[in-house]
């Protein structure tokens, strides 16, 4: 790998007189104390303390015909080496991977074709996101055609096809991994105040043990942003149909609305999200046969539904009942380089979920209130390439969340999570234009 990087650097360097070439690093160690991150703590569990680190190196090259990027990264927890003995740590053989490797060809002044492993983000990142908080991040192997008409109209077509290996026959693929993610994206800027986008996504999973059957789910929606002076209003809505990964019919929906109001150096945000789910009290046979839980696909979780990660998997974390999230956020910038973020989430079930602790006759649903989460983050930017952050979160869990997570109420202590992170992003090399 080291030899390959040196060769790549030399090749780009020798061509830098006719093009633009840069090398950028990212070093991101993060220490965490977890005592309730994603899972409620009880008397049988002890807090976890560890340090993880992302070390990423990105090569960018551009000329009049195309742009390329090659990015490698090493993701590790300090001390996780698998090659060691009692007196020596020799290293590890499984933590380096390719994060991005793509080329974007300029077809004409308004169109490009981007092919390879790449990060994708659209609108508020509800369904397609790079999810950068995780040290690995998310990238996609895809083919993207882009058309942009002077920033007033944008059209994207994305296609993908995934396999485990180069097969001689058949197309068997891991059933829990997405076989294909294809989409059409349209965005129109009507004026300086109003932007509207539409997206249609086809996500497919292979039927287990069958290489020629793909269950395809459709996701369709819109994102609307209106901004004037210090006020920004954002709204989005999506509907899903087709088949889920097990072949079950799907009928699910999402809607969300929020507003940002800025005055002086303070930004206030309020809003709500509603993600549909299964109503356990509905005994209609056609309803039971249909999956009503909204699938957030590769969308961002912690940035929308609470930093502590309790809703990374909606099926498990809500008992398939869906989620109703009411939130308020405050962002305050002071002394130019310092920012404080304080977020509050009131988290509730969207539908009735059965209380599995109830031993009486008939049906009893859980109280829909799951709890309240409080997230605090302090950020200081020493320079454009050096950033220090500290965060603390805690969750006031209700008995409903404890029942869903199979935690005994009297044994559950306050879920807490604290972290500190340093991000250094040096420009290692940049050729002159």
Q: Which of 362, 308, 331 is nearest to 133 (CA)?
A: 308
Query: Is 4 a domain residue?
Result: no
151 falls in which pLDDT band (50, 70, 90)?
Answer: confident
> Does pTM surpass 0.85?
yes
80 falls in which pLDDT band (50, 70, 90)?
Answer: confident
Per-residue pLDDT reduced to its tens digit, 159-169? 999 999 999 98
Query: Is 2 a domain residue?
Result: no
The token pair at 5 is 């990087």
Residues near 140 by beta carbon (within 8 Å), at least 6 away in sequence? 117, 118, 119, 120, 160, 181, 298
What is the enclosing helix (H) or strand (E) of 58?
strand 48-62
Please count the other Cβ atoms lying within 10 Å of the Cβ belonging to residue 109: 8
Query: Is 147 a domain residue?
Result: yes
CATH number at residue 294: 2.40.160.100
Query: Is 248 a domain residue?
Result: yes
360 falls in which pLDDT band (50, 70, 90)?
Answer: confident
Query: Is 387 a domain residue?
Result: yes
- Tell me which residue range forms the domain holding 362: 22-430
Distance between CA atoms of residues 257 and 270, nearest Å: 9
What is the enclosing helix (H) or strand (E) of 73?
strand 66-77
Per-residue pLDDT reduced to its tens digit, 5-46? 555 555 555 555 558 999 999 999 999 999 999 999 998 899
The token pair at 209 is 């043990």
93 falls in which pLDDT band (50, 70, 90)?
Answer: low
Q: How many domains does the chain have?
A: 1
The answer on pLDDT for 281 being more than 90 is yes
| pLDDT score at 82 | 80
Query: Is 41 a domain residue?
Result: yes
| pLDDT score at 95 | 80
Q: Which of 269, 267, 193, 253 is nearest to 225 (CA)?
A: 193
Instruction: Give the total residue count for the chain.
Output: 433
Query: Is 17 a domain residue?
Result: no
| pLDDT score at 11 | 54
110 falls in which pLDDT band (50, 70, 90)?
Answer: very high
Q: Which of 32, 38, 47 is nearest to 308 (CA)?
A: 38
* Cα 243 to chain centroid, rounded: 23
Query: Is 15 a domain residue?
Result: no
**Contact between 178 and 204 (Cβ < 8 Å):** yes
Per-residue pLDDT reduced to its tens digit, 366-392? 999 999 999 999 999 999 999 999 999
């Amino acid at each position: 790998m080291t030899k390959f990087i040196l060769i790549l650097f030399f090749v780009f360097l020798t061509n830098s007189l006719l093009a633009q070439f840069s090398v950028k690093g990212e070093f991101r160690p993060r220490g965490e104390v977890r005592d309730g991150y994603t899972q409620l703590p009880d008397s049988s569990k002890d807090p976890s303390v560890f340090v993880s680190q992302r070390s990423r190196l990105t090569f960018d090259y551009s000329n009049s015909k195309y742009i390329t990027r090659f990015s490698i990264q090493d993701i590790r927890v300090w001390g996780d080496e698998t090659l060691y003995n009692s007196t020596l740590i020799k290293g590890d053989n499984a933590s380096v991977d390719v994060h991005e490797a793509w080329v974007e060809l300029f077809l004409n002044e308004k169109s490009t074709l981007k092919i390879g492993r790449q990060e994708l983000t659209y609108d508020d990142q509800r369904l397609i996101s790079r999810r950068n908080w995780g040290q690995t991040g998310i990238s996609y192997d895809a083919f993207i055609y882009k058309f942009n008409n002077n920033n007033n109209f944008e059209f994207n077509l994305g296609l993908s096809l995934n396999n485990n290996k180069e097969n001689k026959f058949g197309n068997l693929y891991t059933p829990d991994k997405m076989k294909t993610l294809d989409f059409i994206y349209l965005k129109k800027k009507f004026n300086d105040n109003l932007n509207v986008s539409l997206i249609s996504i086809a996500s497919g999973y292979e039927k287990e043990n069958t290489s020629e059957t793909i269950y395809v789910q459709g996701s369709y929606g819109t994102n609307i942003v209106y901004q004037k002076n210090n006020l920004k209003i954002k709204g989005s809505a999506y509907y899903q149909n087709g088949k889920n990964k097990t072949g079950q019919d799907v009928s699910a929906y999402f809607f969300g609305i929020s507003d940002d109001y800025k005055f002086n150096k303070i930004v206030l945000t309020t809003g709500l999200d509603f993600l549909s789910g299964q109503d356990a009290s509905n005994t209609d046979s056609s309803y039971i046969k249909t999956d009503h839980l909204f699938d957030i696909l590769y969308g961002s979780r912690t940035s929308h539904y609470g930093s502590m990660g309790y809703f990374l998997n909606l099926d498990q974390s809500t008992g398939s009942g869906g989620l109703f999230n009411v939130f308020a956020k405050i962002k305050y910038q002071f002394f130019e380089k310092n920012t404080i973020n304080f977020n509050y989430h009131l988290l509730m079930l969207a539908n009735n979920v059965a209380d599995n602790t109830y031993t009486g006759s008939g049906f009893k649903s859980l109280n829909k209130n799951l709890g309240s989460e409080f997230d605090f983050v302090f950020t200081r930017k020493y320079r454009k390439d050096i950033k220090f952050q500290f965060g603390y979160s805690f969750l006031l869990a209700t008995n409903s969340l404890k029942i869903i997570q199979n935690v005994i109420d009297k044994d559950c202590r306050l879920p807490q999570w604290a972290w500190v992170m340093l991000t250094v992003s040096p420009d290692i090399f940049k050729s002159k234009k």
